[in-house]
C-alpha cells in the first residue's frame, strides 16, 4: 500500500472491536479481572491484558500499534510529551559516566535536557552537523548514543541517516533520531539504518494542535552488547524486543510519563490525514520559501548589495541550501518539511513582520493545520547561551515559520506584504 492508503487500511487499522473504524476511548484508570491469578499473570507479563492505564491502556496501545506499523518498527511506546519520549529513549540505556554525541542544531528543549543530564553524570558532546566527518573524532569508549534531529529545528540541517548509522554501528553505538519534523511521510529512518525513532506526536502526527504526546519506536535490529550496556543484560532473552522490554518494565513505567487515552484517540484521528496534510504543507512551504528567496534577490539587486542582504530564507530543498541534494534524494522528492526560517535584519524588524501578518498565529507549536510563527531567540531558546543559539542557527533577527494548509497564494501575499513593509 502507498502511504495514505496504509494510514486508513493498514493491518492495525482493522483490529478494532465490533468493526469500529476508530479505537474506542478507554477513559479508565484500572481494569478488573475475574480472578486474582489472571491479574497476577498480566502484572507479571505472563498474559496479555491491561491492569492500570499508567502501564498500559487499549486506546494508547492502538495508537502505538498504528505508529509502529507506519514506521516499520517492532514495537512502540507512547509518552506524555515529545520531551518525555526524548528523555526516556536516552535514559533507558544511559548511566553516569556515559557520553552522547548530538547535533547542536536541536530544539531548545532538547538542549536544556542535555544540560540537565550533566547533574546525573551524562555528558553531551555537540557537533555542528550530524555527519560522519564531525562525529568520528569524538567517539570513544564512553560514547553510548549518537542523537540528532532528522531535520533540525530551527537550523534546518538534514542528517544523512545512512552514513551516520553505518559509522555508529561500526563502533557498536545505536543511532537515535528525532523524526518529528520529517514524519513518516518523508522518510522511514529504519530503512536507512536508524535504531530508535522518536516523535513529538503533538506536532504533525496529531496535526490539530489539540494533544501533547510523544512516542518511541524501536527498530529491533541493534545488537545490544551487555558489557557496553550493562542494563540490557537481563533483557537479552527478549531478542529484538530487548530495548522496549527494558523501557516498559523500567524507567518508562516508573517515571509515569504515560499518554492519556483521550490524547491517544485524538492522535489516531489526526494520523489518518497525515499524508494529505504533509503533501499540502510541504508544497506550501516550498512555494513560500521560493517567493521569499525571489524577494530577497530583488532587494539585493535593487540596492546594489551582493547576495546576502538584510533578507534571507532557509528551507532544505531550496537550491541555496547546502542540503538540497541530500533532502531531495533522502525524502524522495516529496518536500523538505513544513518549516522555513526567515532573517530580516534585526529583532525589532522580526517582531514587526510577525505582527503585520494576517493569517499566521504567533505560537510556539509546529505541525498545526494553521501557519504559526515564532521568534526563537526570545522564546524557545531563552535559556540557551549565545554560543548555543549560534550553534543552533538561532539569531535575533530570525523568524521560524511552521507552514499550514492554507492556500499558498494567500500565504505568499501575506508574507510578502509584511516583509516588504518592514524590510527595505
Q: What is the pLDDT of residues 240-256, one digit of tens each?
A: 999 999 999 999 999 99
Q: Which residue has the higher pLDDT, 424 or 313?
A: 313
pLDDT at 405: 98
Average pLDDT over residues 352-374: 97
**C-alpha distances in angstroms, 376 versus 76, 222, 265, 381, 399?**
31, 36, 31, 6, 7
Q: What is the pLDDT of residues 66-96, one digit of tens each?
A: 999 999 999 999 999 999 999 999 999 999 9
pLDDT at 383: 85
Average pLDDT over residues 107-133: 94
Average per-residue pLDDT for the chain: 95
pLDDT at 105: 84
Average pLDDT over residues 381-402: 91
Q: Is the peptide bond before 344 cis (omega within 30 degrees of 0)?
A: no
pLDDT at 93: 97
- The residue with cell 492500570 is 52
pLDDT > 80? residue 302: no
pLDDT at 388: 86
**C-alpha distances in angstroms, 14 versus 21, 58, 60, 218, 309?**
8, 14, 16, 22, 54
pLDDT at 305: 60
pLDDT at 31: 95
pLDDT at 150: 96
Alpha-carbon dihedral sign for residues 47, 50, 55, 60: positive
pLDDT at 304: 61
pLDDT at 240: 97
pLDDT > 80? residue 14: no
pTM: 0.95
Amino acid at each position: 500500500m502507498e502511504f495514505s492508503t496504509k494510514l486508513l487500511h493498514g493491518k492495525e487499522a482493522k483490529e478494532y472491536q465490533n468493526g469500529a473504524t476508530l479505537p474506542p476511548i478507554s477513559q479508565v484508570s484500572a481494569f478488573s479481572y475475574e480472578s486474582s491469578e489472571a491479574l497476577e499473570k498480566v502484572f507479571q507479563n505472563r498474559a496479555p491484558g491491561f491492569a492500570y492505564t499508567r502501564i498500559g491502556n487499549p486506546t494508547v496501545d492502538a495508537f502505538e500499534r498504528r505508529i509502529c506499523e507506519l514506521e516499520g518498527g517492532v514495537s512502540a511506546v507512547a509518552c506524555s510529551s515529545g520531551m518525555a519520549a526524548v528523555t526516556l529513549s536516552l535514559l533507558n540505556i544511559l548511566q553516569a559516566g556515559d557520553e552522547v554525541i548530538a547535533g547542536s542544531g536541536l530544539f531548545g528543549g532538547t538542549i536544556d535536557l542535555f544540560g540537565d543530564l550533566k547533574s546525573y553524570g551524562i555528558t553531551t558532546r555537540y557537533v555542528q552537523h550530524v555527519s560522519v566527518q564531525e562525529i568520528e573524532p569524538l567517539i570513544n569508549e564512553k560514547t553510548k548514543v549518537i542523537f540528532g534531529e532528522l531535520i533540525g529545528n530551527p537550523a534546518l540541517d538534514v542528517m544523512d541517516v545512512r552514513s551516520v548509522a553505518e559509522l555508529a554501528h561500526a563502533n557498536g553505538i545505536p543511532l537515535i533520531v528525532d523524526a518529528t519534523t520529517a514524519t513518516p511521510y518523508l522518510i522511514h529512518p529504519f530503512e536507512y539504518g536508524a535504531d530508535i525513532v522518536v516523535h513529538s506526536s503533538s506536532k504533525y502526527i496529531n496535526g490539530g494542535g489539540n494533544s501533547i504526546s510523544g512516542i518511541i519506536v524501536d527498530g529491533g535490529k541493534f545488537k545490544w552488547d551487555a558489557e557496553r550496556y550493562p542494563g540490557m543484560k537481563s533483557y537479552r532473552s527478549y531478542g529484538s524486543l530487548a530495548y522496549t522490554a527494558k523501557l516498559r518494565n523500567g524507567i518508562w513505567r516508573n517515571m509515569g510519563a504515560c499518554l492519556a487515552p483521550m490524547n491517544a484517540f485524538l492522535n489516531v484521528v489526526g494520523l489518518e490525514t497525515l499524508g494529505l496534510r504533509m503533501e499540502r504543507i510541504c508544497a506550501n512551504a516550498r512555494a513560500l520559501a521560493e517567493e521569499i528567496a525571489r524577494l530577497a534577490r530583488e532587494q539585493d539587486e535593487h540596492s546594489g548589495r551582493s547576495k546576502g542582504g538584510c533578507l534571507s530564507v532557509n528551507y532544505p530543498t531550496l537550491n541555496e541550501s547546502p542540503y538540497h541534494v541530500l533532502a531531495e534524494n533522502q525524502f524522495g522528492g516529496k518536500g523538505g518539511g513544513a518549516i522555513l526560517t526567515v532573517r530580516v535584519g534585526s529583532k525589532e524588524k522580526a517582531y514587526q513582520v510577525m505582527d503585520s501578518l494576517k493569517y499566521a498565529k504567533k505560537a510556539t507549536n509546529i505541525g498545526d493545520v494553521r501557519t504559526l510563527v515564532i521568534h526563537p531567540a526570545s522564546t524557545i531558546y531563552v535559556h540557551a547561551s549565545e554560543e548555543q543559539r549560534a550553534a543552533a542557527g538561532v539569531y535575533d533577527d530570525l523568524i521560524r515559520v511552521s507552514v499550514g494548509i492554507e492556500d499558498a497564494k494567500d500565504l505568499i501575499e501575506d508574507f510578502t506584504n509584511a516583509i516588504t513593509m518592514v524590510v527595505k
